Amino acid sequence: MDKDESDRLIEKAKLCLRSGRKEKALELLYEAQKIFPSTRARVLIDAIVRNGSTAAPEANHVPPPSGWRDEDFEKKAEGRGSNAEEKKSYTDEQRLGVLRIKNCKDFYEILGVHKKASDEDLKKAYRKLALKFHPDKNFAPGATDAFKAIGNAYAVLSNPEKRQQYDQFGEQPPTHQHSTQSHHGHYRSFNRDFEADISPEELFNIFFGGRFPTGNIHVYTNRGASYSQFYQPRRRRTFERREEEAEENRSQNTFTALLQLLPVLVLILISVFTQMMATNPPYSLFYKPAMGLVVSRETQHMGVPYYVDKSFQKEYRGAALEELEKTIESDYIDYLQNSCWKEKQQKSDLANLGQLYRDERLKQKAESMRLDNCEKLHRYVGRQRGE
């Protein structure tokens, strides 16, 4: 709903601009940004501010040329002309970085990792490059295309099945379809095998929580082989899947549908029966009065806090208690490791945003962020080792 309202205000602002009411248009655009930030509103605001926000008298206003469409007006407002492009500055480092991406021959070279790189290595490489080449930050020619290539490379290599196919097939697609058919009996489309299942914009939003508004990103051509060979629009694949599903549904009759539902019903019954027969766990790392785990205890070796019910001491004594507390300590260490990783990730994201937007407040917040679970983890690991 917020996005629809924002789009409505943007359309009203465009009408105001056509009639020469720049101040009213600027007011509507600021309101649209406040409701739902978007690239469309931002570029229109920048264009108005650059050209001066004082509205000219309507009597002297010259209307736009006849036949202009909304997209023509948006292109002009967004500064896509040659004069606007010249005003966007970029560094030599950004230009050379785009050139490097453009000259890469395979996905590993794009991300700057070796072929045996782990999933964590791929994530680190993608996060670094995506921030560096995002179109809202890098205005070098071809930066948008480089950003798309980076996202597509990660989307393919982070998929175990597609990565295995990519490594086995080689860096270049087959040039002769018929020869491939004669040797292998069938031909699998290189484009279909190595296309990404997610767009670069969606992938970036997953990593950074949608902190960047993104626009349309186009594919560029490099040495006769375009990146469209590695990426096909997600819309086409969705359409094909829907067509296949519709065809399958038409071929099924009522009896087949009932047979398909039968396993689901059996699973539901088994799940309900299991829940009825299940007993409460003997302990919890957290206070859970609904399960009766309200009595606080600590493990004898590491002093890990946990909660049990009132009958716990009758059932667990001696060796049984010792074994259980070992399990509790192991579970608590796992919990702290996971929580520590999340804290570090949050602090790293905050620092990256502060550096990207040059926001000292975000930088200071990142520096002052406490890693409480990491400190606990260090303390308890020391106790586990007997330090």
Model confidence pLDDT, tens digit, residues 27-65: 999 998 888 888 888 888 887 887 654 433 333 333 444
The percent of residues in the chain predicted with pLDDT above 90, rounded, is 31
Q: Which of 164, 285, 213 is nearest to 32 (CA)?
A: 213
Confidence of residue 117 (pLDDT cuts 50, 70, 90): very high
Identify the domain boundary among 39, 64, 87: 87
The answer to whether residues 268 and 312 belong to one domain is no
The answer to whether residues 103 and 210 belong to one domain is yes
The answer to whether residues 212 and 343 belong to one domain is no
C-beta of residue 217 within 8 angstroms of C-beta of residue 201: yes
The answer to whether residues 124 and 244 belong to one domain is no
C-beta of residue 361 within 8 angstroms of C-beta of residue 346: no
286 in a structural domain: no
DSSP run (H or E) holding 379 = helix 372-384
Please report, for residues 114, 233, 335, 352, the alpha-carbon distance to residue 110 in angstroms, rounded to integers and kept in the order given: 10, 20, 36, 21
In this prediction, residue 57 carries a pLDDT of 35
The answer to whether residues 46 and 101 belong to one domain is no
Confidence of residue 223 (pLDDT cuts 50, 70, 90): very low
The answer to whether residue 305 scores a pLDDT higher than 90 is: yes
CB contact set of 54 (below 8 Å; sequence gap of 6+): 22, 23
DSSP 8-state class, residue 298: E
C-beta of residue 234 within 8 angstroms of C-beta of residue 198: yes
**Interval 50-109: pLDDT, tens:** 765 443 333 333 344 444 444 444 444 444 444 444 456 899 899 999 999 999 989 999
Sign of CA dihedral 369, 374, 380, 383: negative
139 vs 250 pLDDT, higher one:
139
Which pTM does this prediction carry? 0.33
Q: Which of 138, 14, 5 is nearest to 70 (CA)?
A: 14
Confidence of residue 372 (pLDDT cuts 50, 70, 90): very high
Identify the domain boundary among 23, 57, 87: 87
Q: Work out the average pLDDT over 235-258.
A: 65
Confidence of residue 281 (pLDDT cuts 50, 70, 90): confident
In this prediction, residue 121 carries a pLDDT of 93
DSSP string for 301-360: TT--EEEE-TTHHHH--HHHHHHHHHHHHHHHHHHHHHHHHHHHHHHHHHHHHHHHHT-H
Q: Work out the average pLDDT over 221-242.
A: 48
Q: Which of 215, 180, 183 is nearest to 201 (CA)?
A: 215
308 vs 188 pLDDT, higher one:
308
**Interval 121-151: pLDDT, tens:** 999 999 999 999 998 889 999 999 999 999 9
DSSP 8-state class, residue 54: S
Tokens, residue 97: 């970085």
320 in a structural domain: yes
Residue 131 domain boundaries: 92-174+185-232
Q: Give me the number of domains the chain comprises.
A: 4
**Interval 340-358: pLDDT, tens:** 999 999 999 989 998 888 8
> What residue type is assigned to position 109 of the chain?
E
In this prediction, residue 55 carries a pLDDT of 38
